[in-house]
Amino acid sequence: MSEAIATIGTSSAHRARMSWPDALIAGVARLPLPGWLFYLALGALAVAGMAALSAYLGLRMRPEYVVLLGVQVVWPLALAHYLDGIARDALRHFRPVLDVDDAELARIERDLLEVKAGGAFLASAIGVLIGAVTIFSSDDQQFARFLSTRETAPYFVALLGLTGLTWGPLVYRAIRQLRTIVRLNGRAEGIDPLRPGPAHAFSPLTARLALGLMAVVFAWSAVDIEQELANPSSLISGAITILFAVGVFVTPLWGMHRRLVAERTRMLDEASERLEQVTTEVHARARSLDLRDADALNKMVGSLIAERDLLHRTSTWPWETGTLNTFITVLGAPIALFILTRVLERVLR
């Protein structure tokens, strides 16, 4: 990556135009300590605040709930920071098929890594509003889950407001990243199924983004799957999150898949044309009983058939097998957990 790219976000003028999540991430990156340590400390502080609020309200909330309610406030910030590094690596691997100069590449990286300040503010506001609506539309059973009553609703509004404050910009960032990836896949030149490195470049980013979005749903399912299954709103939100995550992984890569299919088809057509030319020559030699260069022609036919078979076996999906396997494994975790709990219930009765 060029120096122009490496210095993005370092000028004071640029920092002044940053959205609040990007400014926070840039500030954490400048700290003389690992980023994960900062977010771990911030998560611990959020959990401690949740525990203090629970104690103040006189709630005997399960410790797992306290931890998750606190961690889910910080998780979007930590995930966005982590994904910035993945996105930079993806763009570096994609660079060979982009015909752009350093200035254009710098603009592309900004589009991939940053969100607009106004958009982030609006996304935060929408997230806070969704949190408030969620609380005030909850029934007594949902409050009872947290050993609470409707009288504590304002406190939970504040909590879910903080959650929406951080989750809103993360969803906004995900949408912008996906749009940028789609555009980049459309601009790529020299796509080659036999050299799929650049074509696979963004799949680690979309897969990790998808899994990161699903992590909180999975965590709540692991902590209390019975309550998640008994609560219609939890089921609906969980299903929507999973469908959204699948879309995050697959949708931005679909255009690259189609381009790989088209390129492989073109290469197969060329290989078949060359094979047809050689076999035509072989047939002509056979009719005239001309055995000159017969061995060479036979070897050429075998090589062309091997090339055609290789192209047929070449994958046109824009991800490594390991990336797909990991994604499917994690995606199936809640289902596996549900089946396991049901089996254990029957065994232990």
What integer is the mean pLDDT of 1-30?
A: 68
**Distance in Å from the first CA to the final CA of the chain:** 60
**Among 146-155, 244-253, 308-317, which is the least confidently predicted range?**
146-155
Q: What was the pLDDT predicted at 16?
A: 56
What integer is the mean pLDDT of 267-290?
A: 85
CA distance 118 to 113: 16
Residue 3 pLDDT grade (very low, low, confident, very high; cuts 50, 70, 90): very low
What integer is the mean pLDDT of 196-219?
A: 90
Q: What was the pLDDT predicted at 349?
A: 60
Q: What was the pLDDT predicted at 9?
A: 45
In 3D, which of 233, 242, 239, 241 has the Cα closest to residue 133? 233
Tokens read off for 233: 């709103």
CA distance 3 to 312: 41
Residue 1 pLDDT grade (very low, low, confident, very high; cuts 50, 70, 90): very low
Determine contact, residues 215/334, Cβ cutoff 8 Å. Answer: no
Residue 309 pLDDT grade (very low, low, confident, very high; cuts 50, 70, 90): very high
What integer is the mean pLDDT of 137-142?
A: 61
In 3D, which of 304, 301, 310 has the Cα closest to residue 279? 301
Q: Which helix (H) or strand (E) holds 32?
A: none
What integer is the mean pLDDT of 220-240?
A: 69
CA distance 296 to 302: 10
pLDDT at 183 over 60: yes
Q: What was the pLDDT predicted at 4?
A: 39
Q: What was the pLDDT predicted at 146?
A: 57
How many Cα atoms are found within 13 Å in the side-chain-facing hemisphere of 327?
22
pLDDT at 199 over 50: yes
Most confident range, picked from 5-9, 12-16, 147-151, 244-248: 244-248
How many Cα atoms are found within 13 Å in the side-chain-facing hemisphere of 217?
25
SS3 220: helix
| Number of Cβ within a 10 Å radius of residue 200 | 20
Residue 143 pLDDT grade (very low, low, confident, very high; cuts 50, 70, 90): low
| Spatial CB neighbours of 153, under 8 Å, sequence gap ≥ 6 | 135, 136, 138, 143
Residue 7 pLDDT grade (very low, low, confident, very high; cuts 50, 70, 90): very low
Determine contact, residues 324/200, Cβ cutoff 8 Å. Answer: no
Q: What percentage of the chain exceeds 70 in pLDDT?
A: 80
String of DSSP letters for 61-82: --HHHHHHHHHHHHHHHHHHHH
What integer is the mean pLDDT of 12-34?
A: 84
**Cα–Cα–Cα angle for 286, 292, 298, rounded to 5 degrees:** 70
**How does the average pLDDT of the chain come out, rounded?**
83
Backbone angles phi and psi of 116, in degrees to 5: -70, 145
**Among 173-187, 233-247, 275-289, which is the least confidently predicted range?**
233-247
Determine contact, residues 88/1, Cβ cutoff 8 Å. Answer: yes
pLDDT at 76 over 70: yes
pLDDT at 169 over 60: yes
Q: What was the pLDDT predicted at 348?
A: 66
Q: What was the pLDDT predicted at 226?
A: 64
Q: What was the pLDDT predicted at 150?
A: 52
Q: What is the pLDDT of residues 315-348, one digit of tens each?
A: 999 999 888 888 888 877 766 766 676 666 666 6
